[in-house]
Amino acid sequence: MMTNTVFEQIVGLTEDYLGPAARRFVSRQIAFHLDKHPEEVTTDDIPKLTEWTRVTLSMLTEDKRMVAEYATKMTNLMKAR
């Protein structure tokens, strides 16, 4: 699997927050909210995915600063491509 795909970049970023659960978390977010396979995700999907992951992470933690930081990094991922 290529490590420079959008999916792999999102997983890499998410691993900083969720560790080994990141791949499954991102895969499920993409499948459920975008109705796509992980390898089909594109930079155009990042805004919607960012909002859904922000909501989900907010349910997992009360650390609003961490959630905001994650969302900013996701948005920056889109800008970097």
Q: Which residues of 10-43 are buried (b: 16+ CB within 10 A; e: fewer)?
A: bbebbeebbeeebbebbbebbeebbeeebeebee
Query: How do residues 48-72 score in pLDDT, each as one tens digit?
Result: 999 999 999 999 999 999 999 999 9
pLDDT averaged over every residue in the chain: 91
Give this prediction's pTM. Answer: 0.87
